[in-house]
Structure 1
């Protein structure tokens, strides 16, 4: 007998067979319906698929649009932040402008008040100006009258001066003639009476001057300025004491009778001392320097009394009269000075540099030699050019020397010629040339003897040429004392000694 499980399995198998049969019957009965449903479902699935694809595309496009919008949103936020910052700056600027506007309004208000006050002051000044113009007209009328009177007085004074000069010339001629006759008659007797064989003629109360010829030999050789050479030499008035100045900035005093070492030195200059001048009492020494300044020393104490400033280039020439001093520099100016105060009195400007000048004993006139070869005369009272004449044009004038009488002026130029002019008539009195004579530098100095009979000048070959003023001929040529170009000469006022200086700083005293 089968067990219960087997019966159950058989029952299940039968049931499955029955179900299959039933399913087959049902499938056969519902096949058309299933096919119709299948077609409907297929169509519906296709539509759904298409809709899903369309929705998928829309979703992708939506994502892209959202991303673009997000980017734009970020940019807009950044722009908004920048605009907020700019707005804050503008607000601060507006506040600052408002503050400045308030300040400007306050200033405008103050300026309006000041303008009103100034306007009132201008009205007062206009009234005063009107009164001053009336006063000026009155003064101009008075000035014209004074100028007319002054011109008349000047004409009378010039006429008197010319008459005095003519009388002086006549007296000099008479004196020279008398002395010549005395010399002829008593020359031998006077020579016996003189121990040194020198014949001297003098008037009562006048200075003694040599009447013998030019010097011929070296008496002393002085090593004056080894550093840079010697630039200027000058004798004291009525003395054989010689002053030398050099590129070492030192001024030295020498006893030309004894030679040897300097008796005194002046220091304090910060540049080369290019020219020297002495007061009539020999108590003050004025030096023109390359540091654009003038130094005034007390010759007794050796101290600097004044440092005169005002030139803008090196000072090339100085001179002193009884009442004032004059200087010139490479800045195309000529200045006059009050030596008591150290102040400049006048400044004269010209287009050509001045290499040398001299001032009259009364300080009323200055004679200047310029690089354009023109000799010019200046009125120191007005500071204006009085007259001029052609001396060495187109070559530069290197030296200007006024005679002791003040009636003639000696010039030397780069054309290797020396000329002597009459100060009153401006006529050329003499021309001096020499074989082999050449001017060494643009600041070479020549000189007249104190009796005005001889002219001396140093040459570029180291010699010293001496001319006779009356014959215009070379009297002698001094050689053997210098080994370089001679740049300056000076004649002693107390003897017939002649000093010369060269570029190497050697000074020779000739007798």
Structure 2
């Protein structure tokens, strides 16, 4: 049992530990004592001493933390000062000036309302007399140049200029029954008869009629130069050549076992596409007219067109194929070509709408049927697809603007409209509606301004879609055409 002395000693030690008012003894002097000592010591005699880390083994005590001396703190005085500051801040907030007083003070500091930072009651001061801006001439020249180069947007009428009835115009997607010749004559096949409509006088004349009871006209095509000759294809596979001035049959050419759905001229060579899936080249100058037969399609050839330079033939068929043929196959003796130079299989429906670009060499536009609905732009040199646009409806025919980079398309199911596209961006700029059935055919007037559309609603509508050629450009084209060598049918012996 512990003694009473040891118990009392332990009690005193415990009381000393619990007494927080007693000054804590530490070998490290408080900061306020060191500051007071430095203030008493003169600066001249004060020398900075570099503290060195005590080496191990010496009797210098080591401390791991600083314990403040709470006995030296006056907590009551600190609390009083803190509350006094808070109360003075609150009183300042309560005694802040009003908005009116603030605005008045701000106005007085800026000159008592005599001057303002922003004032809109007066215009900017005028320049001194005789002053001229150095950039005035530059801006004026740019404005005049911009006014000369900028072209105002042309107006495209939304309604047709004229509407003609076309009874018995067959509703057949694969036929080509309307064409406009260079002599300003429009050829239209209505059932078994071909009619000529004079665009200048408005007169109508019957050119020919099929003899067979089950025969009917399936395609018409004017010769490119002169326009005095018209090729007519029939359901019985015959291709006939007519002189529209005398309304006489010049010759009849065979070569197909089914109807002739498409025709295209290349100077003296007439190419015909048929339901028998073949393409035949006819040389109309010689008695043995059949000079080549091309076999590349598997079904009816419904689209056929020669390039403007006459070096390439494009054909489209009901087998969803687009074929490109070289012109050399139409030259020389009789020959049969089993495969085209390029065979493109990107379309998902029949390819009837074909048109070569008159502004860029080897650029071809093609359109697909109901299951495809796209217009595709091709580089015919290598078969690369330059652009593809989903039109939303069946593409029946395509026609380029000869004066501007624009493409006109006619459509079937389900809108039955005409669409004008800007090339090469293929942005739709105009939509023409009026037909109540699919627009199967497009034909361009000789001056390149009016388009005739033939539809299954048995009407022909004439649209003023394109603008007339600039007189300067027209003169350049006339000079270029006069200097170029032309081969036509006027001086040929047609047998």
Length-normalised TM-score, structure 1? 0.53
Q: Judging changes above 3 Å, is the alpha-carbon distance between structure 1 residues 458 and 321 closer, same or farther for their aligned structure 2 residues?
A: same
Whole-angstrom distance in 2 between the partners of 1:330 and 1:341: 25
Q: More deviation in 368-377 or 501-510?
A: 368-377
Could you say which residue in structure 2 is the equivalent of 1:347? 293
1:337 CA displacement: 0.4
1:310 CA displacement: 1.4
Could you say which residue in structure 2 is the equivalent of 1:503? 456
Q: Judging changes above 3 Å, is the alpha-carbon distance between structure 1 residues 381 and 186 closer, same or farther for their aligned structure 2 residues?
A: closer
Deviations along 1:373-432, one digit per CA (max 9) or x if unpaired, are: 222122343353442242543422122222335532111111111112122232222323
1:185 lines up with 2:139 in the alignment: no
- Specify the SS of the correspondent of 1:381: helix
Q: Judging changes above 3 Å, is the alpha-carbon distance between structure 1 residues 470 and 252 closer, same or farther for their aligned structure 2 residues?
A: same
Q: Alignment RMSD, CA only? A: 2.8
Deviations along 1:200-224, one digit per CA (max 9) or x if unpaired, are: xxxxxxxxxxx94655321000113
Q: Judging changes above 3 Å, is the alpha-carbon distance between structure 1 residues 510 and 432 closer, same or farther for their aligned structure 2 residues?
A: same
Q: More deviation in 241-250 or 283-292?
A: 241-250
Whole-angstrom distance in 2 between the partners of 1:351 and 1:510: 35
For structure 1, the residue ranges without an aligned partner over 5 or more in a row are 1-180, 189-198, 200-210
Give 1:469-484 correspondences, 5 Å limit.
Answer: 469-480=423-434, 482-484=435-437
1:459 lines up with 2:411 in the alignment: yes
1:362 CA displacement: 5.3
- Specify the SS of the correspondent of 2:230: strand
Give 1:55-74 correspondences, 5 Å limit.
Answer: none
Is this contact kept in 1: 2:319–2:350, CA < 8 A? yes
Whole-angstrom distance in 2 between the partners of 1:183 and 1:496: 27
Could you say which residue in structure 1 is the equivalent of 2:324? 377
Whole-angstrom distance in 2 between the partners of 1:426 and 1:281: 33
| Selected match of 1:326 from 249, 254, 271 | 271
Is this contact kept in 1: 2:297–2:317, CA < 8 A? no
Whole-angstrom distance in 2 between the partners of 1:187 and 1:365: 37
- Specify the SS of the correspondent of 2:328: coil
Deviations along 1:311-335, one digit per CA (max 9) or x if unpaired, are: 0011110000113110110101110
Is this contact kept in 2: 1:412–1:418, CA < 8 A? yes
1:301 lines up with 2:263 in the alignment: no
1:244 lines up with 2:188 in the alignment: yes
Q: Judging changes above 3 Å, is the alpha-carbon distance between structure 1 residues 308 and 214 closer, same or farther for their aligned structure 2 residues?
A: farther
Could you say which residue in structure 2 is the equivalent of 1:223? 165
Could you say which residue in structure 2 is the equivalent of 1:445? 397
Is this contact kept in 2: 1:323–1:362, CA < 8 A? no
Q: Judging changes above 3 Å, is the alpha-carbon distance between structure 1 residues 362 and 344 closer, same or farther for their aligned structure 2 residues?
A: farther
| Selected match of 2:362 from 407, 410, 424 | 407
Is this contact kept in 2: 1:235–1:491, CA < 8 A? yes
Could you say which residue in structure 2 is the equivalent of 1:283? 228
Could you say which residue in structure 1 is the equivalent of 2:307? 360
- Specify the SS of the correspondent of 2:193: coil
Deviations along 1:32-71, one digit per CA (max 9) or x if unpaired, are: xxxxxxxxxxxxxxxxxxxxxxxxxxxxxxxxxxxxxxxx
Which of 1 and 2 has greater Rg? 1
Is this contact kept in 2: 1:407–1:423, CA < 8 A? yes
Could you say which residue in structure 1 is the equivalent of 2:473? none
The alignment of Structure 1 onto Structure 2 pairs a total of residues equal to 300
For structure 2, the residue ranges without an aligned partner over 5 or more in a row are 1-143, 330-335, 465-495
Deviations along 1:235-285, one digit per CA (max 9) or x if unpaired, are: 223x65432223233132330x66x542x3311444332322222111211
| Selected match of 1:424 from 374, 378, 381 | 381
Could you say which residue in structure 1 is the equivalent of 2:445? 492
Whole-angstrom distance in 1 between the partners of 2:319 and 2:221: 25
Q: Judging changes above 3 Å, is the alpha-carbon distance between structure 1 residues 294 and 472 closer, same or farther for their aligned structure 2 residues?
A: same
Q: Judging changes above 3 Å, is the alpha-carbon distance between structure 1 residues 391 and 475 closer, same or farther for their aligned structure 2 residues?
A: farther
| Selected match of 1:310 from 235, 255, 274 | 255
Whole-angstrom distance in 2 between the partners of 1:182 and 1:297: 53
1:266 lines up with 2:222 in the alignment: no
Whole-angstrom distance in 2 between the partners of 1:452 and 1:352: 36
Q: Judging changes above 3 Å, is the alpha-carbon distance between structure 1 residues 453 and 483 closer, same or farther for their aligned structure 2 residues?
A: same
Deviations along 1:453-486, one digit per CA (max 9) or x if unpaired, are: 2222222233222222233122222112x22221
Give 1:189-228 correspondences, 5 Å limit.
Answer: 212=154, 214=156, 216-226=158-168, 228=170
Deviations along 1:128-156, one digit per CA (max 9) or x if unpaired, are: xxxxxxxxxxxxxxxxxxxxxxxxxxxxx
1:367 CA displacement: 1.3
Q: More deviation in 348-357 or 328-337?
A: 348-357
Length-normalised TM-score, structure 2? 0.55
Whole-angstrom distance in 2 between the partners of 1:472 and 1:483: 26
